[in-house]
Structure 1
Amino acid sequence: MSHPVRVLRNVWIPMRDGVRLSARVWLPADAAEPQPVVMEYIPYRKNDGTAARDLTLHAAFAAAGYAAIRVDNRGSGDSEGIMLDEYHPTEQDDALQILQWLAAQPWCDGSVAMIGKSWGGFNGLQVAALSPPQLKCIVTVCSTDDRYADDVHYLGGSLVASEALPWASTMLCYNARPPDPDVVGPKWREEWFRRMELTPTYIATWLAHQRRDAYWRHGSVIEDPSGIKAAVLAVGGWADPYRGAVFRLLDELTPLGTPVHGLIGPWAHTYPHQAAPGPAMDFIGECLKWFDRFLRKNADQDEELPALRAWMPDPVPFGSDAEERPGRWVVEPTWPPENAERHDFRLIGRHLHLHEPTTGALTATGSEAVLRSPLAIGSAAGNVLQFGDLAGRPGDQGADDGRSHTFTSGPLPERLEILGPAAAELLVSADRPCAQLALRLCEVTPDGASRLVTTGALNLAHRDGHEHPEPLAPGTAYRVTVPLFATGHAFGAGNRVRLTVSASYWPWLWPSPEPVAVTLHPEGGLLRLPVRPADPARDGAPTDPPRADPPSPFDVTDVPATRVVTWDPVTRTQVVTMTFSDGTTVDRTDGLTRTETELNRFHLTEGDPEAAAVECERTDAISRGDWQTEVRTFSRMTCTKTEFLVVDRLVAYENGEEVFTKSWTTSVPRDLV
C-alpha cells in the first residue's frame, strides 16, 4: 500500500542549551495512528546539499507508512550553533535529545530507526552504542567502527594525503555556508558571520593526534560494542574503503546476541539504490523489510536472515565492467561461516606459491629485496574514497607493478574465490627510523593487464599497534603483519595472483620524512587469503532493481569528475589534479539554488619527500533571486622532515562583494609519521 505523503519543510527541535536544530519531516498523510520514525542526522544541508537524494529515501519511507525525518547537525544548514568537529560529543548528546523529542511527537509511536551513509552511518553506530531506549534498529552504510584505523585520516598509521586535507578543506567550506533567510529570518547574516568566525579547521585537530589516542577512541564503537542493543544492518561496497567494518561488526555483535546482518555489493561510497558501479538494487525495499522486522510489533520475526550477503564479482576483461560488475550474490547463513578457510601462501623471491599452503615453520629461501621505491608509485590507484565516478577508480596497475617488488603466482588452474579480510606477513628492516609499506593484491591476465583487487598499508613505526609507535632500529629485522582491505573477488582460471610491495604510495600516503631503503628478508613471507570454496547451495537470489524515485521538485545538473596526472621529466615532478562537483541543484518550489566545486592538486618531486604538497580549492554558492552568497576556501599542506605545515583561507561573498576573510596557519610536529 502506498500512502500519500505530507512534507513539513522545516521543523525546529529545541536542545537543552537553547540551540535549535532544523529538520525536514515526511509523514504518511492518511495515517490515523502514530507511526515508527526513520531518522537521518547529517551536516550536509537538508534544503539544498542533499535535498534531491533525501527525497529518494525519506519520501519513499513515508509512502510505505513510516514517518521520516532528516535533521541537520548543529551548526549546519539552518541548525543553530557551531560544528566543532566530526562526531563531537555534543553531536551524540544532541542525537539523544532528538530521539527523546521524537518519542513525544503525536505522529511518532515511540520507536525509531536511524539510517545514514558515511557520516550518518558513523553516528548511527555511535548513538546505538549509547543504548537509547527509543532506538530499535539502524541501517549503517559505508561507515566504520574504528575512527583511527579505518577512516580518511590515517591508514596503517600513515597520514592519508589524498583525503585528510581535502576532507578538512571540504568541511571548512561546508561549515561556512549561511543559513537560509526564508527559514531563520533576518538573523541569518549574523548567524552566518558567527559560523565563519568560530568554525575551526579540522585538519589542525587531526594532525595533533597522529596516534590512536583518546581522541580517536571516542566514537569508535569497536572500543565497547556491548552498548549496541539496536539491530544493525551493516552495508558496504567493494569499491568503498569502509567495507571491512561490515565483517568486524559481524565479529563483534554476533557473540553478544545483537541482531546483525551484513550486505556488501559492488558499489562505491553510495547508497545501493544509486549504486555505481552497478548493479544497483532495491535498497528501499531492503530497508523497509528491516524496519518492519524491528519497528512493527506485528512484523514476522520467524524468517531466518543470513548473516551476510555479498556480491562475488566474476573475472572479466579489465575495463569492461565500468558500468556494472558481472557476478552473483553469495550467502553466509552464519558468522563466522561454518566452512571458513584461511590459506597462508608462501612468498619466495618473486613468486607467490598459491598451491603450497604453509604447514608449520618456514625456513629462509630466496634472497633479500631492497626497496628504494620511487615516491610517485600509486597514481594509478584511484581514490581512497570513491563515489563511483570513472575518474576515481583505479587504472591498470602494470606501471606501478614494474616499480614495486612483486610476488606473482603461476597461472591458476581453476577459479579462485576469496571473501573477507586478507593480510600479508613479512620480515623487513629499514635504514631509517621511519618507513612505510604499501601492498597491492592484483589479478594479472595473460595479456599483462593488472587489476587492483585490494590494498593495504603499514607505517612500520606502528608495527606493534597504533597507540604507542616506536622508531625502527636501522638494520634490525621485524616481522610485521600488513592488513589488506576486506574484499570479495573471483580470480579467473589462467590468470595470476600478484602481491606487490613498495615503500611509498602517493598520493594515498604522505611520504616518509626522508628517503628510505626497506629490505624484504626471505624468511617466512606469507599471504593470508580468505578462500571461499564455491558452493551453489550458498549462492543468493538475485535482488530486485531500484524502485522508481518519487516525483522530484529538484533540477540537478551533474558535472563529471576528472583526474589528470602529469610528469615533468626535467624537474622530475608529478602533479595529480582532480576535480569533483555536486553540480547545480535548483529547487523549483522556491528557486533555492546551490552550485559546488572541488579541486585537489598533489605535487611531488622525485627523491625529495619534503617537496610533497597538497592544495585544495572549494567553492559553494547558494542563492535565491537577489539573495546570493558564495564561500571559497583555499588550503595548502606541506612538510619538512620534522613538521607538517598547513595554511587555510576562507573568503565569503554576498551579492558579488567580498564580505569576510579569515586565514589560519598550522604547524604540527611529525610524530613518527
Structure 2
Amino acid sequence: MKKRITEVLGIDVLPNYWDKRYVKNLDKLSRPKYEVELHEDVWMTLRDGVRLCVDVYLPKGAGPVPSLVSWSAYSKEMQGIKRGAIPPESLLFDHSLEAGDIEYFVQRGYAFIIPDPRGIGKSEGVFYGVYNPQEHLDIYDMIEWAAEQEWCDSNVGMVGYSYFGICQILAAAQQPPHLKCIMPCSFVDDYYQHGYYGGVPSTYMSIYWELCPSNNPMPWSVKMYGEEKVKEMMKERLQDPDIAVNSYFTKILTTWPPTYHTFYLDYLLHPLDDEYWQQRSANQMYDKVKTPVYLHCAWSPLGRWSSPIFAAMNDDRLQAPKRLGVLEGYDGLELPYRALNEECLRWYDHWLKGVDTGIMDEPPYKFCVINSGTRYENEWPLARTEWQKLYLRSFNRLRWDKEPDKDLPPDGFTHLPPSISTEVNKIVYKSSRFAQAKEITGPIELHLWASIDAEDANFVCSLFDVLPDGTRMPLLRYGALRASHPLNEEKSTIGSPVHDNSVSIPVTPGEVREYVIEMSPTAMVIPAGHWIELEITSQCPNECHTESWTGKVGNMNVIPTNTTTAYKIYRDNNHPSYLLLPIIPYTDPEQWVQPFENWDEIEVED
C-alpha cells in the first residue's frame, strides 16, 4: 500500500534544508513503528570499579539495534520529562534539557542511553567538573558497554546539544572501537575561550553549579596539584581586586573543603589558558579523531558558539569524514531539543544503519543565510569574499571611506566599577542606511585603535542590525578582548585573529595601540533601508543588573574590573579603526538548497 512520504516518516513536512538533488532513499529512512520501553536505573561498571546508574530506552520488540549515547552531568532523570517543548521565555525553561528527542529516535529503531556520570545523581564516584579528562575515559567505557549489550547491534553513535555535543569530540579522540559517528550540536573547540572569550572573564560558567546535581564534587585542580597547592592558589586569587570585591567569589575562594561550587572554583583558579583548559579542548586532539563527524551550531547572538565549528572544519588535523551545518537561529530554540531531528536521522541512518541517505554527497558546508535562504559552500571563508572595511569616523559614524584627516581628538567613555555605580557607559557608531541589500557572510574582526589609563581592561563589542524604525535586532555579532592578551600575528588569519591567552602583559597606560578583536562569524543579508550599529563597552548591560535584587552574579556575564578606567577610541587617518566585513558579491543559483516541491504528493510503499 502506498502512503505519502510525510505520513510514513511520521512528520508533518519535509525540512526546507533538504535538497531534492541530494536526499536519497526517503523510503528507507527509519520510520516510527516501535513503542518506547524504559529500563530505568541499570547499573554498569567503569574500568576502575566505579558504578554508573543508567537509563536505557529501547524500541520494544526490535531486537538488536544501533545505540545512541547521550552524555552530560545534567542528570538523566529529567531528560525524559513529559511536558512538551519549552521556549526560553517560559519560567520552566531549563537549558540542561539537551539530550535530544528520545522518543523520536527510539520509535525509529534506536536504543537511547543516558547515564548519570560519576558523582552525579545516583552514580558512584567523584565529580571533577565538566569535560574533565576522567570523563573522556568514562564515555569510552559507556560506549563499549552499550555495544556489548544484547539489545545493541554493536553500532554506537553519540547525540545531543551543548554539553551533550561538546563531549563528543573528546570521547571520539579516545577512539572507542564501536563509536561509528558523532553529531555535536553547539560545539566548543577551545574551552578556555568558552569561559574567557578573548581572555575576558565572565560568570557564564557559574550556571554549572545548579545544572550538575553532584553528590560528591571535587575541583579538578585538587587532583592536579594537591590540597596544599590549591589552598595557596585560592589565597593568591583573592589578591586580584576584580575578584576580591565580589562576595560571591569570596565565598567560593574561602570555603574548605572546596566542595562549594567546585567547577567555578577551578574556573577562578585558571584565569589564563593552561593545561587545565587544554585538557578539555577539542582542538588539542583533532589528530586522534577518526570517527565521522557532523558539526552543527546556530548563528548564536552571544558568546563564541559559531567560530568553533568553522575552525574545526578548517583544521587539517581533523581528517575524519566531516560535514558542517548551521540550519537555524537561536530565535526558535525550544527544549527538549528537536530542531534537527530529521537531519540527525539522515546522519545516523547513514553511518549506523547503512542507508545511503545522500548526506555525504552534499558539499561540506550547509548553512542558512539570515533573511535569505539555505545554501551550500565548499570552503570558509568563501573564496569569492570581498573584504571591505567599514571605518569608525567622528560624530559616531561608520563609513566605507577612511577619514582623510590625521591627529583628530579621540572619542571615549569611562568604565565605572559596579562597586561605585550602576552606570554602564558605552560608545555607539552608526552606518548610513543601506541603499541596497548587502550580504555579510564569513568571519568578522574589529581593528580598534585605543588607549586606556590602566594596565588592563575589557573590550566588549556588539554589532547590531537596525530596522528602519530604529528597532535593534538581536545581536548580529559579539566579540571580546582582554587588553593585556597580545595578538599572535603568525597564527592569525584574515577575519580570525588569534591571541596568546597564556600570558597577561600589562598595558602601558595612555599608550595608543591597535587591538584586533574577533567578532563571531555570521551569514546574513542586511536589507535595504537597514543600518549597522557597533557598540563598544567594558561590561554587559542587563536589566537584571538593576531590577533584580537576588542572584545578580548569574546575570553579570563579563566580570567588570574594579578600576575606574578611561577609554579613548581613535579613528583618524593615522589611526584607522574599522570593521573588516566579508561581503559576498554574488552566489551561483545552483548553490542554494532546492527543497522538495509538492512533497506531500510523494508516495512510497509502506
Q: How far, CA to CA, are the matches of 2:391 and 2:148 in structure 1?
A: 61
Q: How far, CA to CA, are the matches of 2:159 and 2:539 in structure 1?
A: 37
> Per the alignment, in what secondary structure is the counterpart of residue 373 of structure 2?
strand
Q: Which residue of 2 aligns with 1:321?
A: none
Q: Which residue of 1 aligns with 2:103?
A: 59
Q: Which residue of 2 aligns with 1:228?
A: 289
Q: How far, CA to CA, are the matches of 1:229 and 1:269 in structure 2?
A: 33
Conserved? CA contact 2:34–2:60, under 8 Å: yes
Q: Which residue of 1 aligns with 2:163?
A: 119
Report the AA paired with residue 313 of structure 2: L
The structure 2 residue matched to 1:36, chosen from 62, 66, 72, is 66
Aligned-pair CA distance for 1:440: 1.4
RMSD (Å) for aligned C-alpha atoms: 3.2
Return closer, same or farther for 1:63/1:55 CA change in 2, 3 Å cut-off: farther
Aligned-pair CA distance for 1:420: 3.0
Conserved? CA contact 1:3–1:30, under 8 Å: no
**Identity of counterpart residues, as a percentage?**
24
The structure 2 residue matched to 1:538, chosen from 575, 581, 591, is 591
Q: How far, CA to CA, are the matches of 1:62 and 1:19 in structure 2?
A: 28
Q: How far, CA to CA, are the matches of 2:557 and 2:259 in structure 1?
A: 31
Q: How far, CA to CA, are the matches of 1:441 and 1:307 in structure 2?
A: 28
Return closer, same or farther for 1:254/1:298 CA change in 2, 3 Å cut-off: farther
* Residue 191 of structure 2 is aligned to residue 147 of structure 1: yes
Q: Which residue of 2 aligns with 1:138?
A: 182
Higher relative contact order (CA 8 A, sep 6+): 2
* Residue 546 of structure 2 is aligned to residue 485 of structure 1: no
Q: Which residue of 1 aligns with 2:479?
A: 456
The structure 2 residue matched to 1:513, chosen from 562, 566, 575, is 562
Deviations 1:358-416 (A, max 9, x none): 8xx9984743223214567xx99xxxxxxxxxxxxxxxxxx98xx53233222211112
Deviations 1:540-592 (A, max 9, x none): 24599xxxxxxxxxxxxxxxxxxxxxxxxxxxxxxxxxxxxxxxxxxxxxxxx
Report the AA paired with residue 23 of structure 1: V
Return closer, same or farther for 1:299/1:312 CA change in 2, 3 Å cut-off: closer
Q: Which residue of 2 aligns with 1:592?
A: none
Q: How far, CA to CA, are the matches of 1:470 and 1:154 in structure 2?
A: 16
The structure 1 residue matched to 2:385, chosen from 315, 326, 340, is 340
Q: How far, CA to CA, are the matches of 1:433 and 1:56 in structure 2?
A: 46
Q: How far, CA to CA, are the matches of 1:141 and 1:455 in structure 2?
A: 20
Q: How far, CA to CA, are the matches of 1:148 and 1:363 in structure 2?
A: 40
Aligned-pair CA distance for 1:503: 3.3
The structure 2 residue matched to 1:218, chosen from 279, 290, 295, is 279
Q: How far, CA to CA, are the matches of 1:197 and 1:432 in structure 2?
A: 33
Report the AA paired with residue 8 of structure 1: H
Deviations 1:483-509 (A, max 9, x none): 112223322212222222223434331
Conserved? CA contact 1:375–1:505, under 8 Å: no
> Per the alignment, in what secondary structure is the counterpart of residue 312 of structure 2?
helix
Conserved? CA contact 1:25–1:67, under 8 Å: yes
Q: Which residue of 1 aligns with 2:579?
A: 527
Return closer, same or farther for 1:105/1:126 CA change in 2, 3 Å cut-off: same
Conserved? CA contact 2:485–2:504, under 8 Å: yes
For structure 2, the 5+ residue unaligned runs are 1-30, 83-96, 218-256, 488-499, 542-555, 598-606
Q: How far, CA to CA, are the matches of 2:596 and 2:486 in structure 1?
A: 42
Conserved? CA contact 1:27–1:67, under 8 Å: yes
Q: Which residue of 1 aligns with 2:469?
A: 447
Q: How far, CA to CA, are the matches of 1:299 and 1:435 in structure 2?
A: 53
For structure 1, the 5+ residue unaligned runs are 179-195, 276-280, 315-326, 381-398, 545-673
Q: How far, CA to CA, are the matches of 2:258 and 2:410 in structure 1?
A: 56
Report the AA paired with residue 501 of structure 1: I
TM-score using structure 2 length: 0.72
Conserved? CA contact 2:209–2:261, under 8 Å: no
Conserved? CA contact 2:463–2:534, under 8 Å: yes
Q: How far, CA to CA, are the matches of 2:391 and 2:197 in structure 1?
A: 25
Aligned-pair CA distance for 1:427: 1.6
Return closer, same or farther for 1:211/1:198 CA change in 2, 3 Å cut-off: closer
The structure 2 residue matched to 1:291, chosen from 329, 344, 348, is 348
Return closer, same or farther for 1:366/1:136 CA change in 2, 3 Å cut-off: farther
Report the AA paired with residue 279 of structure 2: H
TM-score using structure 1 length: 0.65
Report the AA paired with residue 432 of structure 2: G
Q: Which residue of 2 aligns with 1:105?
A: 149
Q: How far, CA to CA, are the matches of 2:592 and 2:188 in structure 1?
A: 27
Return closer, same or farther for 1:525/1:41 CA change in 2, 3 Å cut-off: same
Q: Which residue of 1 aligns with 2:214?
A: 175
Aligned-pair CA distance for 1:295: 1.7
Deviations 1:40-94 (A, max 9, x none): 0112222235544689622221221222211221111222122121111111111
Aligned-pair CA distance for 1:39: 0.8
> Per the alignment, in what secondary structure is the counterpart of residue 175 of structure 2?
coil
Conserved? CA contact 1:251–1:336, under 8 Å: no
> Per the alignment, in what secondary structure is the counterpart of residue 148 of structure 1?
helix
Q: Which residue of 2 aligns with 1:577?
A: none
Deviations 1:236-289 (A, max 9, x none): 1224632222222222269735322223411269568857xxxxx4x2211110
Deviations 1:575-625 (A, max 9, x none): xxxxxxxxxxxxxxxxxxxxxxxxxxxxxxxxxxxxxxxxxxxxxxxxxxx
Return closer, same or farther for 1:269/1:235 CA change in 2, 3 Å cut-off: farther
Aligned residues: 478
> Per the alignment, in what secondary structure is the counterpart of residue 262 of structure 1?
strand
* Residue 51 of structure 2 is aligned to residue 20 of structure 1: yes
Report the AA paired with residue 158 of structure 1: V
